[in-house]
Amino acid sequence: MSIPKNFETFSKTLEHDSPLSTWSDALKAMWYDAKGDWEASHDIAQEMHDNNGSWIHAYLHRKEGDKFNAGYWYRMAGKKYPVINLEEEQKQLVEYFLAHQQ
């Protein structure tokens, strides 16, 4: 399993038990989110002390319904509170991190 090329190939990696250790923390966090493991995703995002971690953190709190906390993290990430649905934002995040894999 290598780094996926797009959201579709990323989605196919969800058949595996874990993401590759060579993936960025941001991509790993989104993988765990897509697998339905909010806690694992949140744990990774919480340790990412940059705009990417704040963006994932914001998305996760939005997903859990905590609009106030999500708003704080979107501001920390330099992002506006999104008007797209969660599925679209998840895809946007994954595609961004695939394009900016370090």
Print the domain residue range for 40.
Answer: 7-99
pLDDT digits (tens, 9 = 90+) for 30-62: 999 999 999 999 999 999 999 999 999 999 999
Query: Mean pLDDT score of the chain, rounded to an integer?
Result: 94
Confidence at residue 102, expressed as pLDDT on a 0 to 100 scale: 54
pTM for the full predicted model: 0.94
The answer to the question of residue 82 being in a domain is yes
User: Given this model, what pLDDT does residue 85 score?
Assistant: 97
Residue 36 φ/ψ region, left for φ over 0, alpha for ψ in the -120 to 50 degree band, beta for the rest: left
Residue 1 belongs to a domain: no
Q: Are the CB atoms for 52 and 35 separated by under 8 Å?
A: no
For 59, half-sphere exposure in the C-beta direction (CA atoms, 13 angstrom radius) is 27
Q: Give the other-Cβ count within 10 Å of 59's Cβ.
A: 26
The answer as to whether 91 is a domain residue is yes
Whether residue 49 is contained in a domain is answered as yes
52 falls within a domain: yes
Angle at 73 between CA 35 and CA 54, to 5 degrees: 60
- The average pLDDT across 56-76 equals 97
